[in-house]
Amino acid sequence: MDDSHDDIDRPGQPKANFVQNSFRTVEFWRRCGGVYMAYKAAQAKQIFLKARGWTPEQLQQKLWRPHHAWAGREMYAICIDLRGFYLKVGQFFGARRDFIPEPMCRELSRLHDQVPPMLPDQTRKVIERELGGVRLEDVFEWIDLQQPLGSASISQVHKARLHGADLAKDRDMELPEGQGFSLGWGLNWRGQDGWSSEGEQCWRLSGAAPSSSGEPRRIPWKGKRRHRRRPLQHPRDETINTAPGSCSGSGAEQGPSTAQPGRAPAGYPSRLDSSRRDASSSEVLESISEAQAAAARLRKGQSARAAAEAACASREGPPDGVVAVKVQYPDALPVMLEDLKHIRLAAKYLSRMEINFDLVSAVDELAGQIKLEFDFVREARIMDTIAGHLSDIRSRVEIPRSVPGFVTKQLLVMNFVEGVQITRLGAQSRAQALNAVQKRLAKRRVFSRIAEAYGRMMLLEGLFNADGHPGNILVMPGGRIGLLDYGQSKQLPDESRLAFAELVLALRSGDNPRISAAMYGLGVITEKGAEATRCKMAYGMFDTRGRINPFDPSSPIKKMGVKKFPSDMFFVLRVVQLLRGLASGMDISDFSTCQQWAPFAEEAVRRHRKKHPGATTS
């Protein structure tokens, strides 16, 4: 293996040494402090101008709009220069048009798909390292390293085509007696007696949550020996020794793509040079890490090209061989963890001085999840699980599937999802040809499908994508929705899921005492105050009909502080806030997610009562 793979640095994503950390710390507080103090100065200037007789319209147009635009540019520059977790924070605020000023939001929304990527040579080294030294030319017919589909805080995504797609039209390829190979998260089929070899168990996994799933069990042969992938259920044991699969959702936000499915991008060679030697897995095993050993076992006795052909032939593999290749930036995790320390300090200050809400606990919950986001094997498993959960609405919502045998902790190969980023939909010629009524109906249908997918995820199974900002949402041909990026995902415990279901039903009913009781049952503890204020807060937190602007003096969160907020619900809160921001950006003001989610909440309660007769949900 090329020794150069061991020293790969990411521009703008430095290793976490003392000097660099000190520089980033100084830069963060200096520049963010400058933006904060500039707002305090603008507030003082507003008082002076009001005394001079300026009207609210004059203040908005001549003072605040220019100031918000300047602050947005400054914050965008901070996120781009420092990257790390600051980039994630900027992406979140860039999706919150419901309370972030429009000029600032417009600047920050560029973080969804306009982040400088890793250089092509560095990207090649990372991918080849994760493939165990196998050359790109041995796996891909072509791969566009020059123009990523998207780049974000921890990874970037490239479009590619696997070798062997033309040879894998028949998904039910027969296997010779006595042979077999692993196909990602499905079954590891073997010949002869129908059992896999030791260390390569066949598993049938059931149940969505680790706490509720049954024990995996081995499955003997039945019927013809054909290799086919079965939908993955959520595993109980994270250490199950399966060959990795990859995802079709990206951890980097998907940008525009002009390439046609199955064809090399414009200006890129139609085929890579395949004159270099094929590297078999037996050679690879001598030089790759333990994390990559499972992927190598898949290719044992096969060339890298044969492994790609096998992936294309699998039932859930890419139908035309076109894939998205997600590549993790080296040394990003230590930087993120260091950034979180400073975000936590800033959250502590804001909670005391500006916002009467426990922001520190929210940051702590994010810190607990962030390490998991760097494990692409976990992400692939979750993505495939959610794809199985939402299979009933596949005609409306598409979830990427991992490609069998091509996932490691830092590399994820997935089915390519063709579509337009939702924030760019209005610029499409077909959308511009619609009249005002048609546009409004189309927007509402698109948003309804997005909200439906999240309602099903959170209420029926409890396993959901917690990073649903616009950069991770595509509108596909025919109005289908593509939901990408499952690195930041959450599994709700049954108790929290059922308590949330009760709150959804209470919000639909509009019964204030029931809403107040459901908030308490969920674990949201507020200061003493009017019941109506608590209910208004509930709508603001958990329904897109509501509104909760932490900077608005009339906001319920300003009138009634939140003393305790359940950690399990921070990501649910984040999803609802992102959905509200998306609805605001699409000019949809009267859509209630709780009205739409009520049938799913009722189904969740019904299942619980059927499983536990006589049990209550609150």
> Global pTM?
0.71
Residue 563 lies in a domain: yes
Residue 89 lies in a domain: yes
User: pLDDT digits over 165-204, tens only?
Assistant: 776 555 444 433 333 333 333 323 222 222 223 332 222 2
Q: Are residue 309 and residue 167 in the same domain, yes or no?
A: yes
pLDDT at 15 over 50: no
Q: Are residue 504 and residue 589 in the same domain, yes or no?
A: yes
Give the C-alpha separation, 401 to 320, whole Å. 14
Higher pLDDT among residues 216 and 562, named by residue: 562
User: pLDDT digits over 221-249, tens only?
Assistant: 233 333 333 333 333 333 222 233 333 44
Give the C-alpha separation, 213 to 358, whole Å. 33
Q: What is the DSSP string of 309-324?
A: HHHHHSTTS-TTSEEE
pLDDT at 422 over 50: yes
User: pLDDT digits over 381-393, tens only?
Assistant: 999 999 999 999 9
User: pLDDT digits over 296-338, tens only?
Assistant: 444 443 577 887 888 887 777 787 899 999 999 988 888 888 8
pLDDT at 443 over 80: yes
Give the C-alpha separation, 324 to 247, whole Å. 8
Higher pLDDT among residues 512 and 270, named by residue: 512
Residue 244 lies in a domain: yes
Residue 341: per-residue pLDDT: 86
Q: Are residue 214 and residue 102 in the same domain, yes or no?
A: no
Out of 84, 112, 140, a domain closes at: 112
Reported confidence tier of residue 617, pLDDT bands at 50, 70, 90: low
Determine what percent of the chain is predicted with pLDDT higher than 90: 39
Residue 353 lies in a domain: no
Residue 199 lies in a domain: yes
Out of 85, 112, 139, a domain closes at: 112
Residue 348 in tokens: 């502590």
- How many CB atoms sit inside 10 A of residue 142's CB? 22
Give the C-alpha separation, 257 to 419, whole Å. 9
- Of 155, 343, 345, nearest to 247 by C-alpha is 155
Q: Are residue 172 and residue 288 in the same domain, yes or no?
A: yes
Higher pLDDT among residues 482 and 264, named by residue: 482
Residue 604: per-residue pLDDT: 97
Give the C-alpha separation, 111 to 275, whole Å. 40
The domain tally of the chain equals 3
Give the C-alpha separation, 501 to 487, whole Å. 25
Residue 249: per-residue pLDDT: 44
Residues 6 or more apart whose CB falls under 8 angstroms from that of 608 comprise 494, 498, 615, 617
Residue 301: per-residue pLDDT: 37
Give the C-alpha separation, 206 to 183, whole Å. 18
Residue 360 lies in a domain: no
pLDDT at 278 over 60: no
Q: Are residue 92 and residue 212 in the same domain, yes or no?
A: no
Q: Are residue 303 and residue 407 in the same domain, yes or no?
A: yes
Reported confidence tier of residue 207, pLDDT bands at 50, 70, 90: very low
Give the C-alpha separation, 495 to 520, whole Å. 13
Mapped to the 3 state alphabet, what secondary structure does 115-168 carry? CCCCCHHHHHHHHHHHCCCCCHHHHEEEECCCCCCEECCCEEEEEEEECCHHHC
Q: Are residue 395 and residue 432 in the same domain, yes or no?
A: no
- Of 509, 510, 393, 382, nearest to 450 by C-alpha is 393
Q: Are residue 92 and residue 214 in the same domain, yes or no?
A: no
pLDDT at 416 over 90: yes
Residue 118 lies in a domain: no
Residue 98: per-residue pLDDT: 62
Q: Are residue 63 and residue 161 in the same domain, yes or no?
A: no
Q: Are residue 521 and residue 545 in the same domain, yes or no?
A: yes
CB under 8 A, 24+ apart: contacts of 597-602: 597/451, 597/455, 597/458, 597/459, 597/504, 598/504, 598/505, 598/508, 600/455, 600/456, 600/459, 600/460, 600/501, 600/504, 601/459, 601/500, 601/501, 601/502, 601/504, 601/505, 602/501, 602/505
Q: Are residue 70 and residue 138 in the same domain, yes or no?
A: no
- Of 593, 569, 598, nearest to 495 by C-alpha is 569
Q: Are residue 288 and residue 390 in the same domain, yes or no?
A: yes
Give the domain extent around 159: 131-330+380-419
Reported confidence tier of residue 1, pLDDT bands at 50, 70, 90: very low
Average pLDDT, the chain: 75
Name the residue type at position 291.
Answer: A
Distances in Å between the Cα of 506 and the Cα atoms of 319, 538, 580, 600 are: 44, 10, 19, 13
- Name the H helices within 251-403: 281-284, 293-298, 304-313, 332-353, 359-370, 376-389
Give the C-alpha separation, 312 to 556, whole Å. 54
